[in-house]
Structure 1
Amino acid sequence: MNTPASPLQPAVVLVNLGTPDAPTPKAVRRYLAEFLHDHRVVALTRWLWCPILHFVILPFRSPRVAKLYAGVWMDGGSPLAVHTARLADAVQREMPEARVVHAMRYGNPSLRTVLQQLRDAGHPRVQVLPLYPQYSTTTTASVGDVVTAVFGDSGVARMRDDYHVDPDWVEAVADSIRAHWDVHGRGERLLFSFHGIPQRLADAGDPYPLQCWAGCDAIVRALGLHEDEALLTFQSRFGREPWLQPYTDETLKALGGEGVRDIDVVCPGFAVDCLETLEEIALQNAEIFHEHGGRRLRYIPCLNDAPAHAQALAALVRRDLAERA
C-alpha cells in the first residue's frame, strides 16, 4: 500500500492465494490454519474438521512444509510473495492512471485489510483481479466472499472471474515456452501441470477443469503443436479422495517407463512461481521422473513479472474498468 495516488483514481488489486511470513513451523502453522479453515477450501462441518485440523494435520504437516519452504525461500520472502509484489509493481508501471496494489487471500498483506484501506480512502472504483487464470469455487469464489464482505452491494468493487483464454495472456505463456526452448532446447513432450481439486467439486459443477483444458488447448494452438506433443495433468492432491486426473506424478512415472527421456513442464495455472512449482514440480517431480527412467525434466518458469505478463493483465483491467466508466 505504498503507492502514492489520488483517491479519485481507480484502484486495482491483484490477489494471490497467500504464503507464510517465514519458513518456520510456527509461521506455516498460522498460515495453514487460516487457509484450511476456509469453508471454500474444506467444506466439512467444523465439529468434524477442526479437531482433525488442529490435532492431526497442523502439528505434523507444519514442520514438514516449513522445511520445503526453507528450500526455496528468497531474500525478500517466499517466492510467491516476492514475485507477486514485483508483478504488482510491473502492472503499476503499465497503468499510471490507477493505483495498483497486491493482496493475499490468506496471510499478508491481508486482502480484507487492503480492501478496507481502499474503501476508506474513497476510491470510486476498485477492480479486483484474482491471479487465478481459471475460476474455481475453491479459490476465486473465496476472494469474492471477501470483496462482498467489505463492499457489499455498493457497486464500488468488482472482480474478474477468469482469464484462461485471454489472447494476450495465452500469447505471453506461449512466448515464454518458445523462449525457454530457444535457450534450453525442446523435450519430447510438453506437460501442462495444473493444481488439482477434488473430483467431487468438478462433478458438482465447478468449471475449473474445463477451463484448464480450454486454456491448455489455446496455448497448444498458439505454439502450433500437435495434440500428441502436449499433455495435461493435475498436481498437489491432498487426502485420500479422488482428485482431478490424470495426476502429474503418475503421468511422469508412466512416461519414464515408456522411454521418454526429456520432458518440459509448464504450470500456467500459477501466475507466479511458488512452492508448488519450484519445489513440487522442479524438484520432487523431477526426481520422480528420473527414478522411473526419465533423464531430464526441464521446468519452464511462470510468467512472474515479465513485461508481457504485466501488459496482458493491465489490458484486462483496463477493459474491465472501461466497462464501468
Structure 2
Amino acid sequence: MPDNSKNREFALPADHPPVVGGKTGVLIMNLGTPEATSYWPMRRYLKEFLSDPRVIETNRALWWVILNGIVLTFRPKKSGHAYELIWNKERNESPLKTITRSQSGQLAELYSGNAEIVVDWAMRYGMPPVKERIEHLKSLGCDKIVLFPLYPQYSATTTATALDKCYDALKQMRWQPAIRTVPPYHDDPAYIDALASSLTAHLKAIDYKPDVVVASFHGLPKSYLMRGDPYHCHCQKTARLLREQMGMKEGELIITFQSRFGTEEWLQPYTDKTIEKLAADGVKNVVVITPGFSSDCVETLEEIAIGVKEAFIEHGGENFSVAPCLNDSKASIKMLKHLIDRELAGWI
C-alpha cells in the first residue's frame, strides 16, 4: 500500500489560537504617565522612562549609578508634586491619559462604520503597555497594524523609542501582523492648519493682544542634534510654517525649547530664560503655544502654565496665557484621521 502520510492534514492543537484575520488595527501611542502622584508610582514611571537608552545617551554603567543612587531618590517627590497640581482628580489619572483615551475613542467612532478597522491606544512608558495592546489588536483579527506615535516632530527620543517598543513586541510573535508607521507630520498642511486654527481661537478668547507669541517645543540635548537627530530642524520648520500661516513677522512668533534636564547644553533658546528676558526687557503681554505636544500634560499645564507664568510675572510681565494643545478637539481628530487615512491607502 502507498504511504499517503505526507498528504494528510494536521489538526491544530486544542489550545492553538484561532486563525482569523482580515482586519486592520490603528494603534496611537503617546509618551506615558505615572499611575499616581505618590513616591513609588512616580519612581516606577521615572525609572522606566529614564532607563531608556534612547532618552539618556550616556555611559550605561555610570548612568545606572546616577539614576538609582541620586535621581530616583529625589526626583519622584518633585515630579509627583508637579503632577499633583494638574492631576485629573475626577478620573484619578493624568490629563495626558484622559486626552489620549478620548482621541482613541473619537477616532474609533469615526471608523465605526467600517468593521475592518480597529482603533486602540497605548503608552510608551506606563499603562496601557504597547505589547499588551498590539497583542489585543492581533487577537481581534488584525493582521495589519498602523503604528502612530503622536509626535509631530521626529526624534529618536520619542518616535523611535515608541516604535522600538512595538518592534520588541513583534519580535516575540511567531506570526507577525504587517506593519506601517505614520511618518513625522511636522510640516503637513493639515497639522499646520489645525495649529493655526487653535492659536487663532485662543487669541480671540483672551482679553489682550500679545506682544509676542512663543512657540515652545520640548528640548533635546544639543549633542543629539550633532549626532544626526532631525528634531531641531523639524521644530524650526513647524514654527516657520505656523508663523507664515498666521501672517506674523519673525519677531512676533519666536521659537524656544523647554524641559531641559541635567547639566548638559540643550537646544536653545531656552523657554524659561527667554520668557524672563522678555519680561525684563519690558514685554508685558505673552502667549505661549506648544506645537510639539499632541496633548496637554505636565510639561504644558504645570511647567509652562504655572512655573514659567510665575517667572514672567516676577520679572515684570503682566498678561500670560498658554494656548491649549490640539488635544481631542474636533480639528485635532480630523487632522489625525487625515494622517491615518493616508497610511491606510491600499489596505482599506
In 2, the alpha carbon distance for the partners of 1:91 and 1:120 equals 20
In the alignment, is the contact (CA less than 8 A) between 2:142 and 2:177 conserved in 1? no
2:192 matches 1:173: no
Instruction: Give TM-score, length-normalised by structure 1.
Output: 0.95
Q: Find 1:262's aligned residue among 264, 277, 285.
A: 285
In 2, the alpha carbon distance for the partners of 1:210 and 1:186 equals 29
> Deviation of residue 55 (structure 1)?
1.4
In the alignment, is the contact (CA less than 8 A) between 1:94 and 1:310 conserved in 2? no
Counterpart of 2:47 in structure 1 is 33
SS of alignment partner, residue 206 of structure 1? coil
In the alignment, is the contact (CA less than 8 A) between 2:243 and 2:253 conserved in 1? yes
In the alignment, is the contact (CA less than 8 A) between 1:12 and 1:100 conserved in 2? yes
In 2, the alpha carbon distance for the partners of 1:90 and 1:268 equals 21
SS of alignment partner, residue 301 of structure 1? coil
In the alignment, is the contact (CA less than 8 A) between 1:94 and 1:311 conserved in 2? no
In 1, the alpha carbon distance for the partners of 2:152 and 2:209 equals 25
In the alignment, is the contact (CA less than 8 A) between 1:133 and 1:269 conserved in 2? yes
> Deviation of residue 160 (structure 1)?
1.7
SS of alignment partner, residue 141 of structure 1? helix
In the alignment, is the contact (CA less than 8 A) between 1:147 and 1:157 conserved in 2? no
Counterpart of 2:184 in structure 1 is 162
Counterpart of 1:311 in structure 2 is 334
5 Å matches for 1:240-251? 240-251=263-274
> Deviation of residue 146 (structure 1)?
1.8
SS of alignment partner, residue 251 of structure 2? helix
Q: Find 2:34's aligned residue among 17, 20, 28.
A: 20
SS of alignment partner, residue 14 of structure 1? strand
2:169 matches 1:150: yes
RMSD of aligned alpha carbons: 1.5
Identity over aligned pairs, percent: 39
Spell out, residue by residue over 1:204-256, the C-alpha distance to the aligned partner (whole angstroms, 9 max, x if none): 11000100011111111111111121110000000001000000001011101
SS of alignment partner, residue 16 of structure 1? strand
Q: Find 1:9's aligned residue among 16, 23, 43.
A: 23
Counterpart of 2:80 in structure 1 is 66
In 1, the alpha carbon distance for the partners of 2:137 and 2:202 equals 39
Task: Extract unaligned runs of 5+ from structure 2.
Answer: 1-19
Counterpart of 1:3 in structure 2 is none
2:153 matches 1:100: no
Counterpart of 2:69 in structure 1 is 55
Report the AA paired with residue 81 of structure 1.
Answer: K
- Structure 1 runs of 4+ aligned residues shifted over 4 Å read 152-155
Counterpart of 1:188 in structure 2 is 211
> Deviation of residue 149 (structure 1)?
2.0
> Deviation of residue 293 (structure 1)?
1.3
Report the AA paired with residue 129 of structure 2.
Answer: S
> Deviation of residue 121 (structure 1)?
3.3
In 2, the alpha carbon distance for the partners of 1:124 and 1:7 equals 5
In 2, the alpha carbon distance for the partners of 1:324 and 1:206 equals 31
In the alignment, is the contact (CA less than 8 A) between 1:151 and 1:157 conserved in 2? no
5 Å matches for 1:108-119? 108-119=127-138
Counterpart of 2:298 in structure 1 is 275
In 2, the alpha carbon distance for the partners of 1:302 and 1:132 equals 12
Counterpart of 2:107 in structure 1 is 91
In the alignment, is the contact (CA less than 8 A) between 1:170 and 1:219 conserved in 2? yes
Counterpart of 2:94 in structure 1 is 78
- Greater shift, 195-204 or 145-154, is seen at 145-154
In the alignment, is the contact (CA less than 8 A) between 2:216 and 2:255 conserved in 1? yes
Counterpart of 2:5 in structure 1 is none
Report the AA paired with residue 280 of structure 1.
Answer: E
Spell out, residue by residue over 1:161-207, the C-alpha distance to the aligned partner (whole angstroms, 9 max, x if none): 31111111111111011111111143111100000010000011100
In 2, the alpha carbon distance for the partners of 1:111 and 1:224 equals 40
> Deviation of residue 69 (structure 1)?
0.6
- Greater shift, 115-124 or 159-168, is seen at 115-124
Q: Which has the higher helix share?
A: 1
Spell out, residue by residue over 1:2-44, the C-alpha distance to the aligned partner (whole angstroms, 9 max, x if none): xxxx953311111000000011111110000011111101122
SS of alignment partner, residue 228 of structure 1? coil
In 2, the alpha carbon distance for the partners of 1:188 and 1:59 equals 42
5 Å matches for 1:110-149? 110-149=129-168
In 2, the alpha carbon distance for the partners of 1:323 and 1:245 equals 42
